[in-house]
Chains A and B, each alone.
Chain A
């Protein structure tokens, strides 16, 4: 067994993961905050106002990363949920369930900032546009996963059931998206492309990318923190948790 494979399997053990997550968490936070500070400064101060939308466009530096993250987190959740359903490792369950809450938060942020932006630009807070509607449906899928997880008394059983729902939702998500597109479309087309020139000014692009990467690192940091707390709660009967509690100085 090579070193990477060994490390990967070690990561599946809760005590090892707890220590590892605690070690990388401050680094993730530092990178996330530094990139977010740079991105926000670049986006809110340095970037020029849009010739059509004025200063209203600046909300994209929060809105677009949040919207991208809402899908990215779902992807991560679906993959770990699939692993949780098929091979049943405890860590995959924990990561999938903790991702659900973070993903729901990103989806909510994307919806709220989007509607705040829609008011001055489209003249309405809400419209039944394809992208808005699929984002709303995505939020419902997240809430369904979280709700199902908490409906069970045994958290591991709840995690397995909710993981299964997350996998079903992953199959459903593209179907919802394309059926809603077929139904109605108003949202502006995509302006950032991986290949070929993006139709967005470079002075607006780099803060956006910085914010996007900051959001990824924030997700990582938040996931590590949440997973550690969840592990302590799930494994509260185990020796390694008792060891940590004994070492920890008593609070209040």
Chain B
């Protein structure tokens, strides 16, 4: 058996996940479709009044993206658990945290990136000011990465359980509260023409912390969930 380096392991994992996602590329559209549907429901529920929709547009888009990601989080390890690839990841000579990080990157690219691409469209339809659009994109970029990192840790914990969807929502909500507050705070401030750098900086700081800690925590959680 030839020795495989860390970078090779990471690249192989990422390549495999992206290839798998590409082979089933229709699946990647489902969260996007879900987000579009949810965002479309808001004007029907609240009325087509432009001023009201414009005021809540940033928050609605953020929450919609969060829900769409929550919907897809359940599947991050599901396939690998069913076919036994997850055990192979745990047993492989590469650190589990590294492989998990590759999986996370693939998940973010496949799920969050399409949502970020469609988010400006949703925000425009709801009447978000043009000046706040870049801030929304920036906030979404940071917030989705944070959510993916934290959400995967929780998903790893529920890997050994059946019917984990509702439980995942219950577990993720408390952890998502600060993310939503700061992301929506930045967009709200930009809408009112106030400085919005502080909440974005907080998100970025949290992301820096989560980038280092979350893969390690995720690896620990996987070991706990698989150990039986």
Contact = CB atoms under 8 A, between A and B. Distances in A.
Interface in A128-161: 133, 137-138, 140-141, 143-144, 147-148, 151-152, 154, 157, 160-161
Interface in B131-159: 153-154, 157-158
Interface residues of B, number: 29
A147 B181 contact: no
A157 B167 CA distance: 16
Nearest to B226: A157
B164 interface: yes
A154 B225 CA distance: 11
Nearest to A159: B224
A66 interface: no
A157 B174 contact: no
Contacts of A152: 160-161
A168 B156 CA distance: 13
A161 B181 contact: no
B158 A151 contact: yes
Given A151-B158, A168-B153, A161 B170 contact: no
B82 interface: no
A141 B181 CA distance: 17
A165 interface: yes
Interface stretch (A2-10, A173-181, A196-204): A173-181
A179 B179 CA distance: 9
B178 A144 contact: no
Interface string A179-208: 110110000000000000000000000000
Main secondary structure of the interface of A (DSSP, over half): helix
A53 interface: no
A172 B164 contact: no
A148 B158 contact: yes
B19 interface: no
Interface in B186-205: 202
A169 B174 contact: yes
A161 B224 contact: yes
Given A157-B228, A164-B221, A183 B181 contact: yes
A182 B170 contact: no
Contacts of A137: 173-174, 177
A165 B185 contact: no
A185 B162 CA distance: 40
Nearest to A146: B170
Nearest to A157: B228
A157 B178 contact: no
A159 B33 CA distance: 37
Contacts of A85: 220, 224
A86 to B, nearest CB: 10
Nearest to A143: B170
B107 interface: no
Contacts of A182: 181, 185
B140 to A, nearest CB: 18
B175 A172 contact: yes
A153 B185 CA distance: 41
B157 A157 contact: no
A172 B224 contact: no
Contacts of A141: 174
A172 B213 CA distance: 13
A168 B228 CA distance: 22
Given A151-B163, A183-B185, 15 more contacts: A143-B170, A144-B170, A147-B171, A148-B157, A148-B161, A148-B167, A151-B161, A151-B162, A157-B228, A168-B153, A168-B175, A172-B175, A179-B178, A180-B178, A183-B181
30 contacts: A140-B170, A140-B173, A140-B174, A143-B170, A144-B170, A144-B171, A147-B167, A147-B170, A148-B161, A151-B158, A151-B161, A151-B162, A151-B164, A154-B228, A160-B227, A161-B158, A161-B160, A161-B225, A164-B221, A164-B224, A165-B154, A165-B157, A165-B171, A169-B174, A172-B178, A175-B206, A176-B174, A179-B178, A179-B181, A180-B178
Considering the complex of A and B, which 7 residue pairs feature the smallest CB-CB distances, nearest first?
A: A151-B161, A179-B178, A144-B171, A141-B174, A137-B174, A179-B181, A140-B174
